[in-house]
Structure 1
Amino acid sequence: MPTHNKDGLKLYDQELNSRLLVGTALYPSPEIMAKAIEASGSDMVTLSLRRQDPSNNQGQVIWQYIQQSGCALLPNTAGCHSAQEAITLAHMSREMFNTDFIKLEVIGDDYNLQPDPFETVKAAENLIKSGFKVLPYCTDDLVLCQRLLDVGCQVLMPWGSPIGTGKGLMNPYNLQAIRDRFPTTSLIIDAGIGKPSQAMAAMEMGFDGVLLNTAIAKAHNPVLMAQAFAQAVNGGRQGYLAGLMESRQTASPSTPVLGTPFWQQQ
């Protein structure tokens, strides 16, 4: 029986009904973004401060649609490559959006957009001390996750695979180890999810939520895809809570015949 969140998703002091978090980038238009967010049923969306350039009118339109959606905002430090850069951007986000929540993203490699574990821990520790509610994007490294918890993070967001690849859960063993090692920590799979079936697989493993962007925004029909992911996340969660059947090496009949009387037609 799981010992972490059963009814709703709790991130620090924020209660969410939906376990699907969605991004706001890459959509064909702000209008389609707004419809996809509504179709996803998400209660929290991510937004980068870098997209709020005063000269960028589309950025302002996106922000207006987010406000109208009623979703909680999770600003992110996308594009940062050092702890200090992420810390600076986080403080600017808090001032602009009036929220202590921050998705901490410190990229260490531009080829696969892998987060820098050292700079991420450094930034997380600083931001936690400054009163932020930090949701760190990290690799599926058990020791790194422990270090992030040690500095005060209450939520972890390990990747399924590199951002935008759609490869799903590359290392199920690592992810399951993180889930088993930290049973009471809210864990969200962030990045690499490309299909609803991959989101369902993450939820069936016992993860508390899924955060994704590209798979919805770049679909031929983002609104329909948002609905598909919402159903997949709910289905995976229900399956996990119900108790999944364990795989077996040998076949077992679904209708037992031993001891069952046999009536022969005369």
Structure 2
Amino acid sequence: MATDLLKIGNKTFRSRLIVGSGKYKDFDTTKQATLASGSQMITVAVRRVNIINKNEENLLDYFKDTEIEFLPNSAGCTNAQEAITLFRLIKEAIGIEFIKLEIIGDTQKTLYPDVLETLKACEILAKEGFCVLAYSNDDPIMAKKLENAGASAVMPLAAPIGSGLGIQNPYNIGFIKEAISVPVIVDAGVGCASDAAIAMELGADGVLSNTAIAMAKDPVMMAEAMKYAVIAGRKSFLSGRIEKKSYASPSSPIFGMARL
């Protein structure tokens, strides 16, 4: 697996698991769970978690002695201009151009993305040199539009954010993989390790998990479980599953069997 690397834009990662930083009880637990996950990338909702103000407790400080990269996201933004402005400020403040674009259309119930505003922001940000990982619904048509707009990766939801429902439309993940050439990272709705394994077995290039880890009774243990689930799912996908059949098939062939 050492040569099976995840490439997004100009960056290469050994781990295919991305973790989030929200909902943890404190920054120390965030760090310990992230390390246990084996992930090399952690998303940060800049409007909710401090990584810019050095006069307040800063999440960046907890990761200074690690190789884990920060992936700022625009959670909390509801239109393209808000997201564009936010990422321009982040680039100016800390020089990060590797970003997760997330624009929410329904802020009250489903937290579903506004794909039209996302598409608009993606095109502008990509032209400005940002490496955009675009959060979207599980629609292969929109995934292709985002790729054409310059997205370096598309992140379709498995289910509503924080729901833990798992992958609701498994066929759509396959359709998206067929439609685009940039990485597909399943994002939102993962509830447990088996959900992550299924996503990878469907052919996803990676998985992002936040709530399932942060809200688990033991976040560090769940983070480790997610690590191995992603690895197992990827190996299963690469090895090629057997064909599904309607009837039984004996494990041992009957031809040449000695008669009693």
Q: If the TM-score is normalised by the length of the shorter chain, which range does it land in?
A: over 0.9
Cα deviation, 1:52-98, whole Å, max 9, x if unaligned, reads 2749834x1x2211333221111100100000000001111212231
Give the alignment's TM-score, normalised by structure 2.
0.94
Tell me the SS of whatever aligns to 2:83.
helix
Tell me the SS of whatever aligns to 2:64.
helix
CA contact (8 A) 1:140 1:178 kept: yes
Tell me the SS of whatever aligns to 1:259.
coil
CA contact (8 A) 2:143 2:179 kept: no
Coordinate RMSD, CA, aligned: 1.4
**Counterpart in 2 of 1:224?**
221
**Counterpart in 1 of 2:166?**
168
Percent of aligned positions that are identical: 44
Matches within 5 A, 1:145-156: 145-156=143-154
Cα deviation, 1:181-230, whole Å, max 9, x if unaligned, reads 22x32110011101100000000011110011000001111110000000
Matches within 5 A, 1:124-135: 124-135=122-133
Structure 1 range deviating more: 94-103 or 116-125: 94-103
1: CA distance, partners of 2:113 / 2:234: 27
Tell me the SS of whatever aligns to 1:92.
helix
2: CA distance, partners of 1:54 / 1:178: 38
2: CA distance, partners of 1:67 / 1:113: 32
Give aligned pairs, total: 255
Structure 2 unaligned segments of length 5 or more: list them. none
Cα deviation, 1:133-174, whole Å, max 9, x if unaligned, reads 000000011111111111111211001111000011011111
Amino acid at match of 2:56: N
CA contact (8 A) 1:34 1:69 kept: no
**Counterpart in 2 of 1:57?**
56
Larger radius of gyration: 1
**Counterpart in 2 of 1:98?**
95
Matches within 5 A, 1:54-93: 54=53, 57-58=56-57, 60=58, 62-93=59-90
Match of 1:211 among 205, 208, 231: 208
Matches within 5 A, 1:1-266: 7-50=4-47, 51-52=49-50, 54=53, 57-58=56-57, 60=58, 62-110=59-107, 111-182=109-180, 184-262=181-259, 264=260
Amino acid at match of 1:205: L
Structure 1 unaligned segments of length 5 or more: list them. 1-5
Residue 97 to residue 246, structure 1, CA distance change in 2 (3 Å): farther
Deviation at 1:259, TM superposition (A): 2.7
1: CA distance, partners of 2:93 / 2:198: 36
